[in-house]
């Protein structure tokens, strides 16, 4: 996935795609946050540990995290799908309006194409697509 980020830096340069790797304790990150996409500037911020894990481990959560943030960038900057809802009120929103659901769905399809997974077990999905068992079971 780190190679994908490098390729996207060139392929999406017209959309000002950029990613930055920061120390895990950088103030840009909220508690428990592994990465963050700034739609306005086109910059994705990753914790060092996420990039380290994606670089050195075969089956890791970091790959999903990277794909998730790419999803935010593609959906909400490139395609300009800004008609999503981010709310703190008690109004019930439709699940597909949630930007986190949108990015998770993008990441799932990007890493584990639905059509290719239909007849595979969780273990086969994990092995074939280098995702965590949790991601494979959800798919």
Short-list 35, 29, 46, 57, CA closest to 131: 57
The CA distance from 7 to 86, in Å, is 30
Predicted TM-score (pTM) of the model is 0.87
What pLDDT is stored for residue 89 in this prediction? 57
What pLDDT is stored for residue 88 in this prediction? 56
103-134 pLDDT, tens digit per residue, is 999 999 999 999 999 999 999 999 999 899 99
Short-list 1, 128, 118, 132, CA closest to 59: 132
Q: Is 89 left (phi over 0), alpha (psi -120 to 50) or beta?
A: beta
The CA distance from 124 to 117, in Å, is 9
């Amino acid at each position: 996935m780190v190679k994908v980020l490098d390729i996207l830096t060139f392929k999406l340069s017209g959309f000002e795609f950029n990613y930055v790797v920061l120390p895990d304790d950088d103030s840009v990150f909220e508690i428990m946050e592994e990465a963050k996409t700034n739609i306005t500037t086109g910059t994705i911020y990753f914790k060092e540990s996420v990039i380290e894990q994606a670089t050195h481990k075969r089956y890791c959560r970091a790959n999903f995290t990277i794909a998730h943030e790419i999803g935010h960038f593609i959906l909400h900057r490139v395609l300009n799908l800004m008609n999503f809802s981010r709310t703190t009120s008690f109004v019930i929103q439709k699940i597909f309006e949630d930007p986190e659901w949108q990015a998770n769905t993008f990441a799932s399809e990007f890493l584990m194409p639905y059509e290719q997974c239909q007849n595979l077990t969780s273990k086969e999905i994990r092995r074939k697509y280098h995702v965590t068992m949790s991601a494979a079971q959800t798919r």
